[in-house]
Amino acid sequence: MTAQITTLDNRARINWLTAVVLLLLHAGAAAAFFFFDWTALIVAVVLHWCAVGFGISMGYHRLLTHRSYKVPRPLEYFFAVCGTMTLEGGPIFWAATHRIHHQKSDQPGDPHSPRDGAWWAHVGWILWGEAGHNNTRANSKYAPDLAQDRFYVWLNTYHWVPLTVLGVALALFGGWAMFLWAICLRVVVGLHLTWAINSATHMWGSRRFATRDDSRNNWWLALITFGEGWHNNHHAHPASARHGLAWFEFDISWLHIKLLQKLGIAKSVRVARVDTPLAGRKAA
């Protein structure tokens, strides 16, 4: 595995730029509660839905990384831009990291396995070492399909531009309350929810499938991550656009994709066919 993706091998060197940015964002998130504004809260919720729901769950993850379905290129680009609003890096970096995670899940070389420590899986792998957010050439080894697209190459290098432009616009037209809620607090919440999929869903929950990793289905995380918490289902069937494989496994992103499919927008939708009953055992 390339050194551009953070592993335990290079955890001795902290990424100070990332650490400072995250510290400032968390400080802004805490300050947001002293500048409460209903309009700012509503804008933050809408942007969270766009960034994490459309951008990460439907876009970066199910569409770009696993190619679970297809949509017209303009909509695909829109989802990718939404993904940058989470401050989780560009599409090539995100897809490359996640594909490595699937190849080496909970094994040596996994970028974020709780077997290396819960803190490491949650955020440590980002804070220590060079995560390679802008190293498009190195990341392209694991996402060559995206690296062939000039838009994705540009967006991967300048992934911070859309969020910066949005932040300036919100500060100018909405004031500090809008900036603190719709940027700082929203981004921090989105980051921790995504990080929890890396950490919590490999530690707590039920296992429906006997995968070679420690992935678990975590219902409460699924409710607040647009269906991403059905992680054991996902690791068993990574190409499936549907992660909640039973009627009671609520998967908001799947409902969105299904709607796009009914409207004739989403095509080539790949769905796991599971005939066995749900009999997942509770995991420690």
Divide the 284 residues of the chain into consecutive groups of 10 and give the mean pLDDT of each group.
45 83 98 97 98 98 98 98 97 96 96 95 86 71 95 95 97 97 98 98 97 97 98 98 96 98 98 64 39
Kindly report whether the global pTM for this prediction surpasses the value 0.85.
yes
Cα–Cα distance between 86 and 101 in angstroms, integer? 20
Give the pLDDT confidence of 198-227 residue by residue, as tens digits. Answer: 999 999 999 999 999 999 999 999 999 999
- Cβ-contact 64, 145 below 8 angstroms: no
At residue 207, the 3 state secondary structure works out as strand
Please state the domain extents for the chain.
8-275
Give the pLDDT confidence of 248-273 residue by residue, as tens digits. Answer: 999 999 999 999 999 999 999 999 98
pLDDT number for residue 256: 98
Average pLDDT for the chain:
91
Residue labelled with tokens 């908001």: 252
